[in-house]
Chains A and B, each alone.
Chain A
Amino acid sequence: MHICEGVLSNSTGGIAVLGAGIVLTAAGTAIGLRKMDYERIPQVAVLGSALFVASLIHVPLGPTAVHLVLNGLAGLILGWAVFPALLVALFLQIVFFSFGGLTTLGLNTLTMALPAVACYYLFHPAVRSKSQLLVFSAGFAAGATAIVLAAVLTALALLIAGKEFTTISQTVLLAHVPVAVIEGLVTASVVVFLRKVRAEVLEAPLLVSHRVEVPNV
């Protein structure tokens, strides 16, 4: 999912896309930080670590290697706070492993975090339902949708950057179909597990309003 340093910076279209990525990621991060209240900081940090680690672990699959992204899961749990979490995770991946690059950091964060936020709004209500089947399905849908949307955004960014990326975009889209399925299963199992063991984790993005309503004991 990472777009490498230097892949886009040759064309004006590419530079525009990179710039848009930086601006929108900055905006998303600002919203995320504003929505992140005191109690949720450890959660954001820990999911940031999960995002950081997940995409380091590659599994061979056909002619290439795939890895989890976990942006759907992070989106469900963090809501908008997925932006700062992903930003930090991706930044550290650049520093430690030179994945992606500083110029593409904004765009890469955007392509993964925006679908995560979308999944939060789409599937968060279902994940909080009482039926376990519904919770599982919503988790699967969130995991898979986040990947597909992220791949579409990446492909779109490559497309806008220049025509010569058409085949690349197709490669990106195709390569992520199996990833979406795996990611869906992982997200679904984690969500079902969390619902059983620590249901309040999935309520977290709503903690603020709960706390305002209910006075401290």
Chain B
Amino acid sequence: MSEQMPKPLRVGLFVVVASTVVLGGSSAFAHKINVFAYAQGNEIHGEVYFRGRIPAQNAKVTAFDPEGEKLEEVTADAEGKFAFQPRFRCDHRLVVDTGDGHAAEYTITAAELPDDLPPRPGDSTKSGPSEPKTTASPPHHHHHAPATLPNGKKLQEMIEAAVSRQVTPLRKQLAQYEAKTRLRDILGGIGYILGIMGLVYYFLGLRKKKTPDANPTNPTHQTNN
């Protein structure tokens, strides 16, 4: 009896390993749709992809403002990329729904968007365009910058563009890293399943011990349990 138990285990293990090997070679670990976006110049650029960098073609991306009102709707291209010009300087919540129960979202904060966009009508909390430029930055630049450098606004735009160029790949990488299905997690999951199996065995073993004891010397053993 106990001799037979490892057999199904071994065969089942084969199934796991085989399916992992067969499919793991040709593909990335993936599931769950992801969306990533960043502001560049006066546009919002973004990508939609499944786990493992598989682009979600023609995915529909909808941008909502913080109140949940629809601002924009774009469709991703064949590479899963999309871009649009924001009309207002407010938080943009980008929601992707592929229509088959997979959904994801990503929020671009107002601070990432260019200063010269008008704030969302009715959003009186921040006066987007004027605040950062007129207060600290321009005088600061005038102090230190020689006359040959572009003026404050231009310089700030250049810096923003440069920083965005440098930082965007990093942020992309970070988003991808978070989205990746890691082998560790998979092994962890399998470990949990084996652990549950152990628990089931434990409790069944307890039950077996309590009831008849199923010993060969006892002729009056009850069959039900």
Contact = CB atoms under 8 A, between A and B. Distances in A.
A202 to B, nearest CB: 10
A64 interface: yes
Contact of A49 (B4, B7, B98, B190): B190
B200 interface: yes
Contact of A99 (B28, B31, B55): B31
Contact of A4 (B7, B26, B50, B102): B102
Contacts of A194: 11
A57 interface: yes
A3 B58 CA distance: 20
B8 A42 contact: yes
A52 B15 CA distance: 12
Interface string A75-87: 0000000000000
A201 B8 contact: yes
A98 B51 CA distance: 12
B193 A58 contact: no
B4 A45 contact: no
Nearest to B207: A38
Interface in B39-57: 50-52, 54-57
A194 B18 CA distance: 13
B170 interface: no
A49 B99 contact: no
Contact of B20 (A41, A57, A60, A154): A57
Nearest to B32: A99
Given A63-B58, A98-B32, A168-B101, A49 B16 contact: yes
Given A38-B204, A175-B100, A50 B16 contact: yes
Contact of B101 (A7, A52, A54): A7
Interface size class of B (residues with CB under 8 A): 35 or more
Contact of A198 (B11, B28, B192, B196): B11
B101 A4 contact: yes
B19 A70 contact: yes
Interface in A71-108: 73, 88-89, 92-93, 96-99
A56 interface: yes
Given A4-B101, A4-B102, A60 B54 contact: yes
B9 A58 contact: no
Nearest to A37: B204
A44 B197 CA distance: 8
Contacts of B26: 59
Interface residues of A, number: 60
Given A154-B101, A167-B99, A45 B32 contact: no
A185 B27 CA distance: 18
Contacts of A50: 12, 15-16, 19
A175 B100 CA distance: 9
Nearest to A70: B19
A113 to B, nearest CB: 16
Most buried by A among B27, B50, B101: B101
Contacts of A56: 29-31, 181, 186
Given A57-B20, A200-B4, 15 more contacts: A39-B1, A42-B8, A42-B9, A43-B9, A47-B12, A50-B16, A53-B16, A59-B26, A63-B58, A68-B19, A88-B193, A92-B192, A98-B32, A154-B101, A190-B15
Interface of A: 1-4, 6-7, 38-50, 52-60, 62-65, 67-68, 70, 73, 88-89, 92-93, 96-99, 154, 158, 167-168, 171-172, 175, 186, 190, 194, 197-198, 200-201, 204, 216
3 tightest A-B contacts by CB? A46-B12, A58-B30, A45-B197
18 contacts: A41-B201, A43-B12, A45-B12, A45-B194, A46-B12, A46-B15, A52-B193, A53-B189, A88-B193, A89-B193, A92-B189, A96-B185, A154-B101, A171-B98, A172-B100, A197-B11, A198-B8, A200-B8
Interface of B: 1, 4-13, 15-16, 18-20, 22-24, 26-32, 50-52, 54-58, 98-103, 181, 185-186, 188-190, 192-194, 196-197, 200-201, 204, 208
